[in-house]
Amino acid sequence: MLNRLLSADYPRSRVLAVLLLGLLLALALAPFLFPGVKALNVAAKVLIFVVLVASFDLLLGYTGIVSFAHTMFFGLGAYGVAVATTRLGPTWEALAVGVLGALGLSLVLSLAIGLFSLRVRAIFFAMITLAVATAFMTLASQLSDITGGEDGLSFRLPAILSPSHEFSEEPFLGVSLDGRLLTYYLLFAVALGLLLALLRIVNSPFGRVLQAIRENEFRAEAIGYRVVVYRTISSVLSALFACMAGVMLALWLRYNGPDTSLSFEIMMDVLLIVVIGGMGTMYGSAVGAALFLVAQSYLQDVLRLGSEATAAVPMLSALLSPDRWLLWLGVLFVLSVYYFPTGVVGRLRAAALRRAS
């Protein structure tokens, strides 16, 4: 059963297995283990970014395609839910229309980009996707009648997903059993299902061909594989999974705007997470997303404690100021790349292989 769920792609490292199991349990029990609004928001964001980063890794890590249009599909998913529920009301039917409409549009756009641009090599394709993503963000900002423009759209979801909907008047283990909790576990189930689906894809014969294309595109073409077709399918699948990550974001925030799901900063975060976790390893998306987002969310709090503890040493206290959290985040990223050049997952697997031999 476990072999089927994990598509025979085991962690291959005891440390990594413990790390992944701990992360799974932490996310599954987050509402009970980490009380507070901020902690739950961080856990939900980790779930969303696990799917988004894993979908991007399908492109970059497994197929060798560098694309900057990934957040466009992320935004399409979020806008699909936002626009549909705003126009049709907070119903399950509207939610279904929004999700299916966003997936359909993502399919068409990714197919168009794949067919017209994937013959372009390396940096030229990356520039094309960057131009497309920038144009889409500009379009979303200007079509205020549909997207709400720069202000974005706030919307309501079906009542059962609303924080005001309570299933029980008595808290369970100190946690309110309400629509917010249900939404979190809906995200958890969707994220787990999508990650397992991506594991199945990359460990299938199709996934092996993608890896062959990544290693040597010309050799893959020479032995009979239609590289453009495989790269296009990979682009489409990646876009659809990214679109679902956008749907998850909209369900959690109940708001969407250009800066929320389409900004270039999100694309940079995704790239950083892929590098930290390890390219070409779906498990890296989970480990990298958790490490990066926890550091991003709590680094200021840690620095504040450090600054207060070193108040007697003015220079050190100033260096540990919470206002310098981006500097320290950059330092942590440089150190992670230096000590884990193949990412956390790649390093742990390599260490386990050396011990075994």
Looking at the 3D structure of the chain, how many domains does it have?
1
CATH number at residue 61: 1.10.3470
Nearest CA among 93, 102, 51 for reference residue 273: 51
Domain that holds residue 280: 2-356
What local confidence, expressed as pLDDT, does residue 3 receive?
64
How buried is residue 78: exposed, middle or buried, by Cβ count under 10 Å (0-12/13-18/19+)?
A: buried
| pLDDT tens-digit readout, 8-21 | 677 888 889 899 99
CA distance 19 to 22: 5
End-to-end CA distance of the chain: 28
Confidence check: pLDDT of 251 > 80: yes
DSSP per residue, 112-153: HHHHHHTTS-HHHHHHHHHHHHHHHHHHHHH-HHHH-GGG-E
CA distance 32 to 41: 13
Element (H, E) at 154: strand 153-154
| pLDDT tens-digit readout, 107-150 | 999 988 877 665 666 677 788 888 888 888 888 888 888 888 88
| Coil vs helix vs strand at 224 | coil
What local confidence, expressed as pLDDT, does residue 121 receive?
65
CA distance 236 to 206: 14
What local confidence, expressed as pLDDT, does residue 83 receive?
93
| pLDDT tens-digit readout, 259-287 | 888 888 899 899 999 989 988 888 999 99
What local confidence, expressed as pLDDT, does residue 46 receive?
95
